[in-house]
Amino acid sequence: MNILLTGAAGFIGFHSARRLLANGHRVLGIDNLNTYYEVALKHHRLAQLEGQPGLTFQRIDLADREAMAALFDAHRFDAILHLGAQAGVRYSLDAPFTYIDSNLTGFLTVLEGARRHGVRHLVYASSSSVYGANVKQPFCLEDRTDTPVSLYAATKKANELIGHAYAHLYRIPMTGLRLFTVYGPWGRPDMAYFKFTNAILRGEAIDLYNGGDMERDFTFVDDVVDGVVRLLESEPVFAEGGAPHRVYNFGNDRPERLDAMVSHLERLLGRSAKRILLPMQPGDVLSTRADISLAARDLGYAPRTSLAEGLERFVAWHRDYYGHRTGAAA
């Protein structure tokens, strides 16, 4: 297939591109290479993809309407994997307009391209954040998602609503993925496991919100990509008589405590963490756990990687990438 992949220099985008290329697909990747975290890491991800048959990369901002329209005028895509977005819950408190530009305007430019030129399937990233302060576990697709507790979460819920409207109006086959705390090699330095690793190696203290008494459904990136590729390579499944739009939870269904994750890192790094116990932060939730039964039924989605194994693979990559020189990690 000819696949448009947005956010190609991002964490999940990079892993998805590598797998799709290995499976023989042609991938046109776009990314704006913004400075939310170290740009060098994004360039190094792209360097891993350079020279692989079937890959084309263009630096484009999703919110640039003219550039996105020109992209769709110049190319025909069988499918779109839309992963480009401004990530991060806490950063949305500091830079709200960035989230509107990237996550709303940027999503609309992709939808408009699909509307004007047609695609077999558009797969886009939503987030477990849409469940807000839901205390019922696990998070089920039937649960209410109209009480977001961060702007980031609100933009992701808006993506689902706008996606459904476009699927209904223009019959664009579309699938949203509520992703649960994805981690692994080549990951995002703003995420807790990455920041904790850097801090432990430097001998710096780590901040544990709610004293570390929080749970996350940590999901290893390879397990997510398995599901994404299955979705793109199969015929999409939709409910009879409705809009061709479906949402899945892509999680691990095995939540782990935040302080347990720190203990794994201490063991793998051979160093003790200096902990600063802090209260809950605005926009955070105490626990996440995914009901993945629908994805298992429709896609055979079955995450296999334990947190201990996943962190071991991350630390091995981190050691290779940074060399574990003092202060080497940004």
Taken in order 204, 207, 213, 216, the sign of the CA dihedral is negative
Burial class (CB in 10 A: 0-12, 13-18, 19+), 95: middle
Nearest-angstrom CA–CA distance, 324 and 123: 37
What angle (nearest 5°) sits at the alpha carbon of residue 135, between those of residues 131 and 137?
85
Nearest-angstrom CA–CA distance, 207 and 201: 15
Q: Which residue has the tokens 């956010």?
A: 7
Q: With beta carbons less than 8 A apart as the criterion, state whether 83 and 55 touch.
A: no
Alpha carbon 114 to chain centroid distance? Answer: 21
Nearest-angstrom CA–CA distance, 222 and 89: 23
- The catalytic site residues sit at 152
What 3-state class would DSSP assign to 212? helix
The HSE-up count of residue 88 (CA atoms within 13 Å, CB side) is: 20
Q: With beta carbons less than 8 A apart as the criterion, state whether 239 and 183 touch.
A: no
What 3-state class would DSSP assign to 196? helix
Instruction: Of 126, 25, 124, 15, give the one whose Cα is nearest residue 80.
Output: 124
Q: Which residue has the tokens 């084309």?
A: 56
